[in-house]
Amino acid sequence: MRGVTTKGAGAGLRERKKQATRAALAEAAVRLAAEHGAEHVTVEAISNAAGVSPRTFFNYFDSHDDAFVMMDTQIGERVRRAVRDAPAGLAPLDAVREAMAAELADVERRHEVWGLRAKVLKKSPHLLARGLGLHMAEERDLARTIAHRLGPSAGCAAGDRATDGDDPAGTDAGPRVRADPDGATGAGPAAGADTCDEDGIALYPRLLAAVAGTAVRVSIEHWYAHSPPTPFPDIFREVFTHLSAGLRRPPAQTGDRRSDGRSTES
């Protein structure tokens, strides 16, 4: 037993070191790009600033550009795992909210770096486009995980589900399927089940994944714009409260401005 514990602790330490190195490289890349422009920053400069070799850089990023747009390559995987492992009775929107909230603590802790990253991407259209492409890929994977959690009856589009005529042997084979991308079973209703292929994912999982991604972006932008005294997690949860309420019009706040510019205060 003692040997197993030591091995597990060693694996955990190695993973933390890898995460720290990846974060150091991403931060070095962003800081250098903010000062000199991304197009003038080399892999060698990033590696030197992070205290590692250029060869080590490519253990963490596939290309020079990835260092500017990928602050943590494992976030998406961790979010999907948390969605899969959420309690079965938790509503899908709440499962996604809690999964994302656990990851977004890093935004507040590394406020300065995330702000610099946003400025770097705005100044480099090709990096912004690359970041958008990566975001869309993560969104598709999250939609597939949500579909997996919902099960074939709710997670797959009607045209992607098998009919009685498709299964003459009566085996109830279900829809055309592919495994959840991270290959793990979860606590949700569809635990252990496969889901539809990418084209067969139903509207709800696609919409929830897209809305959740937008909620994160709006939360971050609002937080930065108001130089907060309000903690970022509070803003993030308020956004999801609006979503849970169906985006009903919120009650007027004291001191709100009317369309004619006058205060609503009496």
Q: pLDDT digits over 26-41, tens only?
A: 999 999 999 999 999 9
Q: Are 50 and 12 a contacting pair, CB within 8 Å?
A: no
CATH code assigned at 207: 1.10.357
Counting Cα atoms < 13 Å in the Cβ hemisphere of 105 gives: 5
CA distance 178 to 232: 36
Decide which of 48, 72, 96 is a domain's last residue: 72
Token reading at 183? 């290959």
Cα–Cα distance for residue pair 100/107, rounded to 1 Å: 11
Same domain, 56 and 175: no
Whether 21 and 143 map to the same domain: the answer is no
Rounded Cα distance between 204 and 142, Å, is 12
Residue ranges making up the domain that contains 56: 1-72
Q: 112 and 231 share a domain?
A: yes
Rg (CA), the chain: 22
Q: What is the pLDDT of residue 217?
A: 86
> Distance between CA atoms of 198 and 264, rounded to whole angstroms?
49
Instruction: Provide the angle, in degrees to the nearest 10, between the axes of the packed helices 232-244 and 92-103.
Output: 170
C-alpha 227/C-alpha 142 separation (Å) is: 30
CATH number at residue 16: 1.10.357.10
Query: Do 46 and 168 belong to one domain?
Result: no
In a domain, 191, yes or no: yes
Within-domain flag for 262: no
| Whether residue 188 sits in one domain with residue 60 | no
**Rounded distance between C-alpha atoms, residue 18 and residue 12, angstroms:** 10
Token pair of 234, please? 């509070």
User: In the chain, which stretches have pLDDT less than 50?
Assistant: 1-8, 162-179, 185-194, 256-261, 263-266
| Residues 58 and 119 grouped into a single domain | no
Domain boundary pick from 20, 53, 72: 72
Which pLDDT belongs to residue 58?
94
- pTM score: 0.72
Residue 96, domain member (yes or no): yes
Structurally, how many domains does the chain consist of? Answer: 2
Is residue 98 domain-shared with residue 230, that is, in the same domain? yes
Q: What is the DSSP string of the chain?
A: -HHHHHHHHHHHHHHHHHHHHHHHHHHHHHHHHHHH-GGG--HHHHHHHHTS-HHHHHHH-SSTTHHHH-S-TTHHHHHHHHHHHS-TTS-HHHHHHHHHHHHTHHHHHTHHHHHHHHHHHHH-HHHHHHHHHHHHHHHHHHHHHHHHHH-HHHHB-GGGS--GGG-TT-----SSEE--TT----SSTTTT--EE-GGGB-HHHHHHHHHHHHHHHHHHHHHHHT--SS-HHHHHHHHHHHHHTTSPPPPPPTTPBPTTS-B---
My answer on whether 20 and 92 are in the same domain is no
179 and 233 assigned to the same domain:
yes
pLDDT value at residue 176: 43
Say if residue 119 is in the same domain as residue 175.
Answer: yes
Distance between CA 57 and CA 42 in Å, rounded?
11
The token duo for 225 is 């714009």
